[in-house]
Structure 1
Amino acid sequence: MRGARSLLVLLLSSLGLGGCIIITNDDDGSGDTAAADEGTGIADDTGPSSCFDPPQCDPLASNCAQSKCVPDGSTFACTPTMPGMEELGPGEPCSGSVSCQEGLLCLPGGGSCTGGQGCCVPLCDVSQPQCPSGTVCMPYFSGTTLCYDDVGVCVVG
């Protein structure tokens, strides 16, 4: 298909990582793939068109059945968990958010953890922050997002 674009979705659920890679198809040999990128909205940072349409989820509501709501680029998505996988608690070193207990996510540099890529830290609602003593609720995303302005993480203040 001339000018077509494919979307390859990589899901590394065992690590709690996910993402999308945009692949353009330059069938005409011109080297110009810009036309394939115009008007779709897939590669921009505007977020989902409607809050929490599948596979998006609300990390503050824990609304994923038999999976976890974890960060996925500029959104959150329900991600399957591995049966029997150990769930890590607050302050424990982690390599991906799917490995943290419900209500926590793996934040790189999020605490004094050693031995992992990050720390499991509690999620919080920035409009009604409730964090453990010694931590403050900070927005998870910088800037404005369509659905996640109230999502924060408890970090050392």
Structure 2
Amino acid sequence: MLLLVACNGPNADFRDSAPETTSTTTTSSTGVDVTGDPPVNTTTIESTSGQDATTDAESPDTTTGETTGTSTTGTTGTTGTTGPVEPLECDPWLEDCPEGQKCISHAGDGGWQAPTCSPLVAEPDAVGAPCSVDPVDSCDEHAMCWHVDPDTGLGTCKALCAGTANEPVCDAGELCLEASSGNLAVCLPACSPIDPACAAGEVCIPRPNDGTVFLCAIDDSGEQGQTFDDCEYSNACDPGLGCMNVALASDCDPGAVGCCLPFCDLAQPNTCPGQGLACVAWYEPGYEPAGLEDVGLCAVMP
């Protein structure tokens, strides 16, 4: 799972809290850090401790792109005994690991763990190439193995975000997904929810923490994720849908954490399902990013 997020709707940011019912006016949808929150200015919740990007609660597994760490052995104490050596914690923005190691986050109980130094393989895989995490992440120094298939054990090398935590940098066409309170920072493809071009097995979701743009994340909907289904993670809905605040549609279960609602095209006739739903602008007027001017969400009118 990627992000424990219950989104609130158009013009929404994402926060590490339960959905709020109060609305706030945002001019540029600047949110809080995926792995976020409101116009419907409503508010969203997200969890970033496993694999998201805001409430420290993504429950990563082998399908989410996390890497698994390994312990090394060495001499400890004065008696000459050998035993496990705790991985050295590091700062991915400073690249402060010893030579021959890289700083990446590893998936563990409860989500993405604090970054630690991991050994570099002799012939690392380049960004975009197939990779594995057995016994260690096989990608090069500035990348990590993402979306690992549990059957084959293979994933794809994705670039780690460069720059700084305040100003992350990715190549053109990609966006930085920061999750688990900064434990994870990986570059993923940008997309539009009304014209997605994500790879198979991925879904176009609002970037956790701000909701100002959209990126391709792992589709973790499984057999659920259809319109009006309950959801708890931002990537737990089928393609074309988003995990939103239940207050945005009367067809949603009011007791659920989130509800899968369709994105829609403001330039097209209203085809929103359910009772009283209309295509509501995701962005506030004047703050639409280029290429996303017509993005809307099927929701009750504010």
Q: TM-score, normalised by structure 1?
A: 0.63
Q: What is the SS of the residue equivalent to 1:149? A: coil
Question: What do the CA deviations read for 1:14-60 (whole angstroms, capped 9, x no partner)?
Answer: 53682379x999xxxxxxxxxx99xxx938xxxx997xx13211111
- 1:58 aligns with 192
Equivalent in the alignment of 2:272? 131
Number of the residue aligned with 1:13: 2
- 1:78 is displaced (CA, Å) by 0.4
- With over 3 angstroms needed to count, the CA separation of the structure-2 counterparts of 1:15 and 1:87, relative to structure 1, is farther
Whole-Å separation in 2 of the counterparts to 1:141 and 1:87: 28
Equivalent in the alignment of 1:120: 260
Root mean square deviation, CA, Å: 3.4
In the alignment, structure 2 segments of 5+ residues that lack a partner are 6-13, 15-33, 36-52, 55-91, 95-162, 175-188
| Paired position in structure 2 for 1:102 | 239
Determine whether 1:142 maps to 2:280. Answer: no
SS of equivalent to 1:99: coil
Equivalent position to 2:224, from 87, 90, 109: 87
Query: Quick one: which of 49, 54, 68 aligns to 2:203?
Result: 68
Provide the residue aligned with 1:32 in structure 2. Answer: none
AA matched with 1:15: L
CA contact (8 A) 1:110 1:120 kept: no
- Alpha-carbon distance in 2 for matches of 1:117, 1:61: 27
* Alpha carbons 2:219, 2:237 under 8 Å: kept: no
Query: What residue is the counterpart of 2:135 in the other structure?
Result: none
SS of corresponding position for 2:242:
strand
Instruction: Quickly say closer, same or farther: Cα 1:87–1:62, change in 2 above 3 A.
Output: farther
* Percent of pairs with identical residues: 27
Contact 1:139 1:151 in 2 (8 A): yes
One-letter identity of the residue aligned with 1:139: A
Structure 1 residues 98-123: Cα deviation after superposition (integer angstroms, max 9, x where no partner)? 11111111111322323422211111
- C-alpha distance in 2 between matches for 1:110 and 1:148: 21
Q: Is the 8 A contact 1:69 1:79 kept in 2?
A: yes
State whether residues 138 and 154 of structure 1, in contact with CA within 8 Å, keep that contact through their aligned partners in structure 2: yes
The structure where strand makes up a greater share of residues is 1
Q: Quick one: higher RCO (CA 8 Å, sep 6+), 1 or 2?
A: 2
Deviation digits for residues 69-123 of structure 1 (CA, Å, limit 9, x no counterpart): 00102110000134x8333211122122311111111111322323422211111
Gaps of 5+ in 1: 1-11, 26-35
Q: AA paired with 2:283?
A: F
| 8 Å CA contact retained: 2:203, 2:218 | yes
Amino acid in the other structure paired with 2:277:
T
- Structure 1 stretches of 4+ with a deviation exceeding 6 A read none
- Residue in 2 that maps onto 1:5: none
